[in-house]
Amino acid sequence: MGLENYNKDFKKVICKNIKKFRKEKEIRLMDLAEMLDVSPEYLKRIESPNDDKKTCSLTLLYKLSLILDKKLDDFLIDSQK
């Protein structure tokens, strides 16, 4: 096993998947932000693949996986491939 499958854009994949999974569950951004105890602006920046300054902590990603009923590795799957 090596890094042959390493995707340097994995952060963008995670951002897109957070938004995609939230919409699939039909949860409004404001409601999800409240569940996570973060501001809607913060969550919006996390969902934005073009905001390199805001990243999602592992703790927040774990909470998202519980709320959105997804496995952690689901957030890393690039559906664009």
From residue 54, how far is each of 15, 25, 43, 47, 60 by CA, in Å? 10, 23, 9, 9, 12
Residue with tokens 């996570």: 36
- pLDDT bucket at 79, cuts 50 / 70 / 90: confident
Topology adopted by domain 10-71: 434 Repressor (Amino-terminal Domain) (1.10.260)
- The fraction of the chain above a pLDDT of 90, given in percent, is 70
**pTM for the whole structure:** 0.87
pLDDT at 51 over 80: no
All structural domains of the chain with their residue ranges: 10-71
Average pLDDT over residues 37-58: 89
